[in-house]
Structure 1
Amino acid sequence: MPWPDLPPGVRLPPHVYVPGKNARHPEDWFDPIKASVTPDIPSDELHRTAAFQTGLAYLRAGYFWECHEVLEAVWMQTSDPGPEREMVQALIQLANARLKLLMGKPRAARRLCDMVTAHLSRCAPHERVMGMGIEEVKIQLTTVHMDAKNAI
């Protein structure tokens, strides 16, 4: 799946945050990234923001809590209802499922996988949403679902 690299000037956080296992990042760490999302950006252009691109890069790099943190800013600017909102929510829940696996909670990860499936089902199957094909996300979802199933 073609995941974008980090946008210019954006770096990875100093560590992967796993609740209950290590310290959270400073509260303002993600503010400059989230600031790339402004109310004047149409929903169908939000995938071009540093926040969206960073969220995908964090997801790819295993920074799942951090992915959720920056993608939430994108989600809050999507139209409701709308395919962009569904796609961003699917990506957030995919990151959450991966985080639950890191936390040793495979049942919670499986429930989140079901939520991802539901969000994706509300997008047209052959349409590109947020610059991505639905099948691209489904491939990632299958991997997470299998990891959760094997962990139980």
Structure 2
Amino acid sequence: MPDLAGGVTAPPHAYVPGQTPRHPEDWFDGIKASVTTATPVADLHTTQAFHAGRAYFDAGYYWECHEVLEAVWMQAPEGSAERDMVQALIQLANARLKLRMDRPRAARRLCDMVMAHLARCPRDIAILGLDVPQMQRWVMETQDTLKK
């Protein structure tokens, strides 16, 4: 299996419901375990789960991105910018997955949800190493795909 950015190992294939087989149930457990209740919010972006989630997103492993970033989302405090940002990335991955599944209405709805999360985040600082303008560009790229 090839390595992705940051030395993250790629899964054997991208899981697309109804099109490819699902990964074994425990495939991502080691990655998700990098986030614990002792992980400070300020360090969530340094965890293996966050690095893998970003690498999976960038490489087009959208279901896998969602799977590992959920551990980060669960550790981010309710109502925090970190929670909104990781939720935005999870939902953007899901929107791109829906495009692969030929579900453009679902993708459009998810893009709207991403923008709502981003609207609650400060624009002038990086949150978990991500910034609002970059995320908005990714949403626009996804929405542009819907127009084709």
Calculate the TM-score normalised by the size of structure 2: 0.94
Distance 1:58 1:111 in 2: 22
> 4+ residue runs of structure 1 moved beyond 6 angstroms?
none
| SS of corresponding position for 2:75 | coil
Q: Which runs of 5+ in 1 are unaligned?
A: none
1:66 aligns with 2:64: yes
Select which of 3, 14, 17 maps to 1:16.
Answer: 14
1:91 aligns with 2:89: yes
Q: Residue by residue, what CA displacement relative to the aligned partner does 1:73-117 show, whole Å, maximum 9, x if unpaired? A: 110000111000000000000000000000001111000000000
SS in 2 for 1:146: helix
Match of 2:37 in 1: 39
Q: How many residues align?
A: 145
SS of the residue aligned with 2:66?
Answer: helix
State, as a whole percentage, how many aligned pairs show the same letter.
Answer: 57
Q: Distance in 2 between matches of 1:22 and 1:98?
A: 16
**Residue 128 of structure 1: aligned partner:** 126
Once the two structures are TM-superposed, the CA of residue 44 in structure 1 deviates from its matched residue by 2.0
How far off its partner does 1:138 sit?
1.1
TM-score (norm 1): 0.92
Please name the residue that 1:116 is paired with. Answer: 114
Deviations 1:38-81 (Å, cap 9, x if unpaired)?
Answer: 11111121000010010010000000000000000110000111
